[in-house]
Structure 1
Amino acid sequence: MKNPQLLKGLLEGCILKLISDGETYGYELVENLKKYGFRDISEGTVYPLLLRLKKNKLLYSQDRESPYGPKRKYYYLSEEGEKELESFYQTWLELRNVIDLIFRDYKGGEQN
């Protein structure tokens, strides 16, 4: 995806959803996003979003020991984060339907 602002908004919703599936840490989030198709996502993109979500009280975190080195910061959704996730999902459904309607006759660059 080439539009960074659009991507950032979508990523926030996707991050909230992945965290809602269970506790996770930053590197694991990046790997899960890549698994789902966000191939160009890096930790440098995800960590600032995590900080912003935490600052906005949508997440909370807990540092825990790791068997593989330094402590890991695990993220969890707050009650506000759960509400924001639901709001994001409802907005996504509405927007997806509108965009599908607009593009239903689009032929991908073919001349009519």
Structure 2
Amino acid sequence: MRADAQVLKGHLDVLLLATLKDGPQHGYAIKEALRDGSGGRFDLPTGTVYPALHRLERAGLISGAWSTVDGRRRRSYELTDDGHRKLNGERANWREFATAVTALLEPRPWPTTT
């Protein structure tokens, strides 16, 4: 199953933050990290990823800087301190949510009668 941007609505920001946890990356590398890290399920168009990166930058969760590599300009992004805090908080929220959903969706053994 390949997810589209609509399926990821509400989760894209934290997934982008997670791709930056190990250090700065340029925009296209972030897009590729989403795709590769999800086994190809999150292969999103640049028209979805870049506006989200700009939104995160305006919110102060990531910072961006321009550089020139092989004569081409590219913008790299990295987590700010607020971005690290946000990512850590969202990870804790996700674990709690996933535990609750799993408890409801996974089959439970029938109670035994004694």
Scaled by the length of structure 1, the TM-score of the pair is 0.84
Deviation string 1:52-91 (CA, Å, 9 cap, x unpaired) is 1001000111100111x42110001111101100111001
Q: Tell me how far apart the structure 1 counterparts of residues 105 and 34 of structure 2 sit (CA, whole Å).
A: 26
Shift in CA distance, 39/87, structure 1 to aligned 2, threshold 3 Å: closer
1:41 paired residue number: 44
1:110 paired residue number: none
Structure 1 segments unaligned to the other structure (5+ residues): 107-112
Q: Which amino acid aligns with 1:26?
A: G
Query: Which runs of 4 or more aligned residues in structure 1 lie more than 4 Å from their structure 2 counterparts after TM superposition?
Result: none
Counterpart of 2:99 in 1: which secondary structure? helix
Q: Which amino acid aligns with 1:91?
A: N
Shift in CA distance, 56/40, structure 1 to aligned 2, threshold 3 Å: same
Scaled by the length of structure 2, the TM-score of the pair is 0.82
Instruction: Tell me the number of residue pairs that the alignment of Structure 1 and Structure 2 aligns.
Output: 104
Match of 1:58 among 39, 61, 64: 61
Report the structure number with the largest CA radius of gyration: 2
Shift of 1:2: 5.6
Larger % of helix: which? Answer: 1
1:84 paired residue number: 86
Structure 2 segments unaligned to the other structure (5+ residues): 109-114
% identical equivalent positions: 28
